[in-house]
Amino acid sequence: MEPTKRVYIQNFGCQMNDYDVDRMIEVLRKDGFEAATSVEDADLIVLNSCAIREKSEHKVQSAAGRLRELKARRPGVTLAIGGCVAQQEGDRLLRRVPTADFTFGPDQIPALPALLAKMRDGRRFAATGVIDVEDYQFLDADPQPGDVKVTALVTIQKGCDNHCAYCVVPQTRGREVSRPAGEVVAEVARFVALGAREVTLVGQNVNSYHAIGTPDGDDFAELLRLVGAVPGLLRLRYITSHPKDFTHKVAEAFRQLPSVMPFLHLPVQAGSSRTLKRMVRGYTREEYLEKLDYARAQCPDLSLSTDIIVGYPGETDAEFAETLSLLERVEYDNIYSFTYSERPDTPALKLLQRDDVPADVKDARLLQVQTVQRQITQRRLERFVGRVGEVLVEGESRHASHQLCGRLPGNEMVNFDRPPGLDLVGQLAPVRITAAGTYTLTGAYAGAARTRLPVVSA
Ligand code: SAH
Ligand code: SF4
Ligand code: F3S
């Protein structure tokens, strides 16, 4: 029998890459691999890359650089680079990272064993394949009992058909394909059967999901209903929503479907309709706000987050001021903010939008956005202090082993002291919030756990 091989994966990027890493592990396990505890005891190292900004791309190259010495010392170790940079750059990445044995795109994950076999020829190669195939087949998750956490991701779509002018994703992930609803529901049920209690449906634009054929065309709202009915599933979330496709019916699900959690990540990118137009986002400031207001009317305690890009080509001081005023108007719970990063072959370049905002202006705008938001986030977190919230307990806190952590329905992270003699992991626990930190909350367990759900068999 061949000795067991060990794989170590370092991941970068978004929810799509997180999902992909778990599939890689499953595929490699069937090929005789088990997880390594560090790069030092790995036979195969995979860097799963992200191409969204220049900095993200650099991260994978520096990670590969740090492995140069290890590769020299242990030439038998294989280094593979997967993910979006691998897909976009192919051979060019192979040339830039001389220590990489091969690169592979996100759609090549099922072929990993074959790629490892091919490597034995001794020649380096880039496996990017064709990403826009007819009848695209999703790779089903095949979790084993020990793998499943309280929260799980389930992909509902690949690729993206939008053409936001700044974005590389349509190139790295190809055309949008919706995963059949039956596969989605079956996968959710598999995770729940193994102990997951919360599922996040993932895609780059979940609102344009279209694999059901409902008469009103709102397939995503219908998918929420179908998934929400999976027995044993306590909480349902989804990322990422695109404002232009986010419908009233999907907003109504916050009120109508008990498992749909009061949390919405609705990336706005900029507060000025003129900037949004240059970004080719497909909505105005006013249309965005109308949808948010409707969602908040459905669910007054909705927690909201967004993505912001500052320093987009042509962004004037006045346009930027509209981003700040939007933050004040909406009062997001949380934001993810970035300076514009010019990406190869994106529509922005073809639209002759030169990266003309100077780096120091971009940095100053980013700082301003983050300063304004820090206070808003603080205020929003403080609204919980003194209240008892329902926390889905995920496990031991990262800060202290005597504490547990979990999230409120709105996705706010709560740390609280472990009550002696109670194993609350996977349960909904009432927790009184006692203090608000910068990004997380602290609380105290407030009574007997309400639900102990049986593990539902598949
Ligand atoms: N599909 C999601 C976003 C995926 S990328 C959506 O449309 O909302 C995550 C975030 O990265 C984007 O929302 C955007 O804020 C940021 N981003 C994407 N391309 C970027 C670029 N070229 N420069 C800076 N930030 C970028
Ligand atoms: Fe990129 Fe726009 Fe697609 Fe999001 S919706 S992945 S920002 S092209
Ligand atoms: Fe990055 Fe690819 Fe996700 S570019 S953001 S890992 S889809």
Q: What's the longest Cα–Cα distance across the chain?
A: 68
Burial class of residue 282, CB neighbours in 10 A (0-12, 13-18, 19+)? middle
What is the per-residue pLDDT across 361-386, written as a single tens digit (0 to 9) for each? 999 999 999 999 999 999 999 999 99
Q: Is 395 helix (H, G, I), strand (E, B) or coil?
A: strand
Cβ atoms of 229 and 253 within 8 Å: the answer is no
Provide the β-strand partners of residue 305: 265, 334
pLDDT on residue 457: 41
Check whether 450 has a pLDDT greater than 90.
Answer: no
d(CA 280, CA 264): 22
pLDDT on residue 2: 67
Least confident of 40-49, 287-296, 445-454: 445-454
Query: What are the C-alpha distances in Å from 97 to residues 44, 62, 106, 233?
Result: 16, 9, 19, 44
pLDDT on residue 371: 98
What is the per-residue pLDDT across 125-170, written as a single tens digit (0 to 9) for each? 999 987 788 889 999 999 998 889 999 999 999 999 999 999 999 9
Q: Would you say the CB of residue 227 lies under 6 angstroms from ligand 2?
A: no
Task: For residue 453, name the pLDDT band (cuts at 50, 70, 90).
Answer: very low
d(CA 116, CA 379): 52
Q: Nearest C-alpha to atom 7 of ligand 3 is from which residue? A: 169
Any idea how long the chain is? 458
**Mean pLDDT, rounded, for 186-197:** 98
Q: Would you say the CB of residue 309 lies under 6 angstroms from ligand 1?
A: yes
**Mean pLDDT, rounded, for 317-334:** 98
Q: Would you say the CB of residue 292 lies under 6 angstroms from ligand 1?
A: no
pLDDT on residue 131: 79
Q: Would you say the CB of residue 155 lies under 6 angstroms from ligand 2?
A: no
What is the per-residue pLDDT across 65-74, written as a single tens digit (0 to 9) for each? 999 999 999 9
Cβ atoms of 81 and 64 within 8 Å: the answer is yes
Q: Would you say the CB of residue 269 lies under 6 angstroms from ligand 1?
A: yes
Task: For residue 106, name the pLDDT band (cuts at 50, 70, 90).
Answer: very high
Check whether 454 has a pLDDT greater than 70.
Answer: no
**Mean pLDDT, rounded, for 226-243:** 98
d(CA 348, CA 99): 33
Q: Which of 9, 19, 48, 50 to mutate to test the pocket of ligand 3 (most atoms within 8 A of CB)?
A: 50
Task: For residue 1, name the pLDDT band (cuts at 50, 70, 90).
Answer: low
Percent composition of the chain: helix, strand, coil (DSSP 3-state, to 5): 40, 20, 40
Q: Nearest C-alpha to atom 13 of ligand 1 is from which residue? A: 307
User: For residue 167, how far is its CA from the centre of ligand 1 (angstroms)?
Assistant: 6
Ligand nearest to the CA of 172: 3
Q: What percent of the chain has pLDDT over 90?
A: 91
Q: What is the DSSP letter of 108?
A: G
Q: Would you say the CB of residue 268 lies under 6 angstroms from ligand 1?
A: no
d(CA 201, CA 236): 8
User: For residue 169, how far is its CA from the centre of ligand 2 (angstroms)?
Assistant: 6
pLDDT on residue 164: 97
Half-sphere exposure of 1 (CA within 13 A, CB side): 5
Dihedral over alpha carbons 213, 18, 393, 433 (to 10 degrees): -100
**Mean pLDDT, rounded, for 228-244:** 97
Ligand nearest to the CA of 204: 1
Q: Would you say the CB of residue 242 lies under 6 angstroms from ligand 1?
A: yes
Q: Which of 15, 56, 162 to mutate to test the pocket of ligand 2 (most atoms within 8 A of CB)?
A: 162
Q: Which residues line ligand 3 (CB under 6 A)?
A: 13-14, 16-17, 50-52, 83-84, 168-169, 172-173
Check whether 455 has a pLDDT greater than 70.
Answer: no
Q: Would you say the CB of residue 15 lies under 6 angstroms from ligand 2?
A: no
Cβ atoms of 49 and 100 within 8 Å: the answer is no
Domains detected in the chain: 5-126 (3.40.50.12160), 151-382 (3.80.30.20), 388-457 (2.40.50)
Cβ atoms of 120 and 102 within 8 Å: the answer is no
Q: Would you say the CB of residue 288 lies under 6 angstroms from ligand 1?
A: no
What is the per-residue pLDDT across 386-444, written as a single tens digit (0 to 9) for each? 999 999 999 999 888 899 999 999 999 999 999 998 889 999 999 999 999 999 999 99
Overall pTM > 0.85:
yes
Q: What percent of the chain has pLDDT over 70?
A: 97
Q: State residue 432 phi and psi, 5-degree precision.
A: -85, 125
User: For residue 45, how far is its CA from the centre of ligand 3 (angstroms)?
Assistant: 20
pLDDT on residue 458: 37
**Mean pLDDT, rounded, for 310-314:** 98
d(CA 424, CA 417): 11
* Atom of ligand 3 minimally distant from the CA of 17: 6
User: For residue 85, how far is its CA from the centre of ligand 3 (angstroms)?
Assistant: 9
Ligand nearest to the CA of 243: 1
Check whether 39 has a pLDDT greater than 50.
Answer: yes
* Atom of ligand 2 minimally distant from the CA of 167: 1
